[in-house]
Every structure is written in structure tokens, then in C-alpha cells.
């Protein structure tokens, strides 16, 4: 059995265990994480069996875990941890299509985020991205894993390859000025933004929706190559169609389009219908895709025809955009603290006055359908 003694509340530094069969990865991760004054690497071991021995003496606050390892694979180890003592786990995964599918299994087993690593130039990549690695570990330490269901996928935080980037606003992609959106029509759509805890939350919401539902544009902070696999998994579980958005895709009832990792997604209008524009551009709020970019585009072209929803996530991406949507006449909702894994993005949106209503995760599907039917959204 694994050690289940509680952590000491007095601990100030995030205590981390690294489990990876590559000595180069273990050494590089240890160096960059220990360089952060808020993090302490307790140990770095080559496989899960060694990790379990070390955990009998000292349980980490966060585990950085590889998936493919000898003796016991990372998925088996992760499931054992989540069954005996749920602990925030950051998956260290290679950025490939095959790796994306395997990593989604890890997310479904209980991991909270992803750190992507290339096959070549690993040490240089880890050194350049040291600030992002430390941020991923700190974010994981704040995740309320009790809010995550073991059967659902978990959040994936995007990692940038070149250190901490400038924090651009949505102005870097599109200006806030422009003609006012057309008046309300019968074509109602939904824009959703989420991050930490969002993959699980999206599954819970989207699987509750019937085939006839408003069209949805969704930004989930996620690295490239992972969004297509994530959308495919949701599509296999939902009555509605879910897929990764492509440039020019029309937003139709019964369809949810997820922004591709590494690209920004904007809502556009042509006559009586809406479509998606996929663009490159700088990181906005250190994310690409950015929720603020989607929300601003929705405010500009949809106005009262769109419902904006900001869900669980670290940081403030989407908070300003939701306020712009509300100012443009859109209905807006923030997920409540009790049902969030991390009450960061919704909290900032509420503070800025962008949330017209604050609702629990379980109340969102009904509110989305009510909006699509032209009804008033009830709530706080």
C-alpha cells in the first residue's frame, strides 16, 4: 500500500517528485525546478516502482510523470495514485500524434496538466522553457483534484518553448473598435473559454446536451496536436458533433468546434451565418489559443446573439473578453467557485463585472439550452 499520511500544512515550497526513465530528463527537470525558489524536488527516479518506495517515506505535493517507462508504465502508476491518494500529476509527454492519444488516457486517469517535450534537443528545450515548467508545477499544486472525476480527461496547460513571453492582450490579434454587431436574430450561438480543469468540465457539460443544441465555439488551453485527439474523444461520448475547428468552418446547431492548439480562433459573420477564422499570432495572456481573442470576436460580430461562458481555469484569460461581450449585449455566465477545479478565470471575470450570472457546472447545460430557445437565463 502507498503511504497515506497527510502533508504538513506548514510546507511553503511545492515539493515535487520526478518519475522518468531518461537520466537526461531527470537531471534537466531537477535543475530547472530547483532553480525556482518556490519549488523543491524531493527526488527524481527512473520508474514507478522506485517512486512508490520513496513515497513511503515522503509524499510529494506534485508528481511530474513520464508515460512510457519500464517495469510499470506511467498510466498504471497514475491510476494507483488516484485510487489510493489523489495527487496533482503533471504528465511529461512527447509532442506527437501517438503521444497525444496516450496522454489523453493519462488525463482520463487523473492527471491535471501536460508538459510537452520534443524528441530532439531536449535539454535546450527544458532550459529555455524553465519558467513555463515551473508555472505548470505551481498551477498543478493549486488544483483541487477532489473536483475531478477519475473517468474524465483533465486539463492540459500549454507550454511555450522560449521562456516567459510578453503578456499581450487581445489587441495583438484584433482591435476592440468596429461596427456594432447585428441585432438579435434566431441564430443563437455559444462561446466557451476554459483552462485548468476544463477538459473534465467540458466533458461533463457537453455529454448532457441533446443533438439539437446551439452551435458552440470553444477555447480550451491545450498544446497543438492534443486538441484533435481531445475533440475526437468528446465526439465519441457526446450526442452533439465535436471536432477541432478548421479555417472557414461554419458554426451550426448541434456542432461544437474546439480551437486548434497553437492557433487563435475567432468568430466571424457572413450574412445570416457564423464561421470560424483560424489565425497565427502572438500569445495573448501567454496563451494560443486565447479565450480573450474568441470572446472579443464574439462581442464584435454576434452581440446579443451569443452566450459567453467562462469556466474553471488558472489566470485571467477571458475575463476582459467576457466583459466586452456583456457590454455588447451578450448573455454571460461564470462558473461558480464550488464547482471549479481552479477558481481563477471565473473569479477575474466576476471581479471585472463581466459575468451576468454565476452558475454551478451542473446548471450550465440547462442554461445553454434555455438561451438557445430564447429563454431568460436564471441564476445569481
Active site residues: 195, 221, 317
Strand partners, 218: 192, 258
Q: Spell out the SS3 assignment of the chain.
A: CCCCCCCCCCCCCEEEEEECCCHHHHHHHHHHHHCCCCEEEEEEECCHHHHHHHHCCCCCCEEEEECCCCCCCHHHHHHHHHHHCCCCEEEEEECCHHHHHHHHHHHHHCCCEEEEECCCCHHHHHHHCHHHHHHHHHHHHHCCHHHCCCCCCCCCCCCCCCCCCCCECHHHCCCCCCCCCCCCCCCCEEEEEECCCHHHHHHHHHCCCCCCCCEEEEEECCCCCHHHHHHHHHHHHCCCEEEECCCCCECCCCEEEECCCCCEEEEEEECCEEEEEEECCCCECCECCCHHHHHHHHHHHCHHHEEEEECCECCCCCHHHHHHHHHCCCEEEEECHHHCCCECHHHHHHHCCCCCEEECHHHHHHHHHHHHCCCCCCCC
How many residues comprise the chain? 380
φ and ψ of 53, to 5 deg = -65, -45
Residue 106 to residue 153: CA distance in whole angstroms: 8
Determine how many CB atoms are found less than 10 A away from the CB of residue 162: 10
Among residues 224, 219, 39, 27, the alpha carbon closest in space to that of 131 is found at 39
Amino acid at each position: 500500500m502507498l503511504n497515506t499520511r497527510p502533508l504538513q500544512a506548514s510546507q511553503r515550497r511545492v515539493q515535487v517528485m520526478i518519475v522518468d526513465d531518461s537520466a537526461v530528463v531527470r537531471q534537466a527537470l531537477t535543475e530547472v525546478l530547483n532553480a525556482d525558489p518556490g519549488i523543491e524536488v524531493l527526488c527524481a527516479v527512473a520508474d514507478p516502482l522506485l517512486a512508490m518506495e520513496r513515497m513511503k517515506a515522503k509524499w510529494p505535493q506534485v508528481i511530474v510523470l513520464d508515460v512510457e517507462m519500464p517495469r510499470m508504465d506511467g498510466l498504471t502508476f497514475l491510476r494507483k495514485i488516484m485510487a489510493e491518494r489523489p495527487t496533482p500529476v503533471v504528465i511529461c509527454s512527447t509532442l506527437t500524434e501517438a503521444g497525444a492519444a496516450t496522454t489523453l488516457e493519462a488525463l482520463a486517469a487523473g492527471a491535471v496538466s501536460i508538459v510537452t517535450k520534443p524528441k530532439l534537443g531536449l535539454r535546450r528545450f527544458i532550459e529555455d522553457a524553465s519558467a513555463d515548467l515551473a508555472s505548470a508545477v505551481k498551477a498543478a499544486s493549486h488544483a483541487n483534484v477532489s473536483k475531478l472525476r477519475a473517468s474524465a480527461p483533465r486539463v492540459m496547460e500549454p507550454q511555450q518553448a522560449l521562456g516567459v513571453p510578453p503578456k499581450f492582450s487581445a489587441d495583438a490579434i484584433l482591435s476592440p473598435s468596429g461596427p456594432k454587431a447585428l441585432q438579435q436574430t434566431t441564430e443563437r450561438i455559444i462561446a466557451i473559454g476554459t483552462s485548468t480543469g476544463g477538459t473534465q468540465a467540458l466533458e461533463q457539460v457537453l455529454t448532457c446536451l441533446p443533438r439539437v443544441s446551439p452551435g458552440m465555439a470553444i477555447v480550451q488551453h491545450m498544446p497543438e496536436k492534443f486538441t484533435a485527439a481531445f475533440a475526437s474523444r468528446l465526439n465519441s461520448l457526446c450526442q452533439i458533433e465535436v471536432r477541432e475547428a478548421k479555417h472557414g468552418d461554419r458554426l451550426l446547431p448541434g456542432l461544437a468546434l474546439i480551437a486548434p492548439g497553437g492557433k487563435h480562433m475567432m468568430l466571424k459573420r457572413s450574412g445570416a451565418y457564423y464561421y470560424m477564422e483560424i489565425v497565427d499570432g502572438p500569445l495573448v495572456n501567454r496563451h494560443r489559443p486565447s479565450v480573450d481573442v474568441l470572446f472579443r470576436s464574439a462581442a464584435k460580430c454576434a452581440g446579443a446573439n451569443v452566450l459567453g461562458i467562462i469556466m474553471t481555469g488558472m489566470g485571467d484569460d477571458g475575463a476582459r473578453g467576457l466583459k466586452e461581450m456583456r457590454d455588447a449585449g451578450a448573455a454571460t455566465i461564470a462558473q461558480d467557485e464550488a464547482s471549479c477545479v481552479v477558481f481563477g478565470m471565473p473569479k477575474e471575470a466576476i471581479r471585472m463585472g463581466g459575468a451576468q450570472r454565476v452558475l454551478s457546472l451542473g446548471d450550465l447545460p440547462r442554461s445553454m439550452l434555455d438561451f438557445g430557445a430564447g429563454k431568460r437565463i436564471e441564476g445569481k
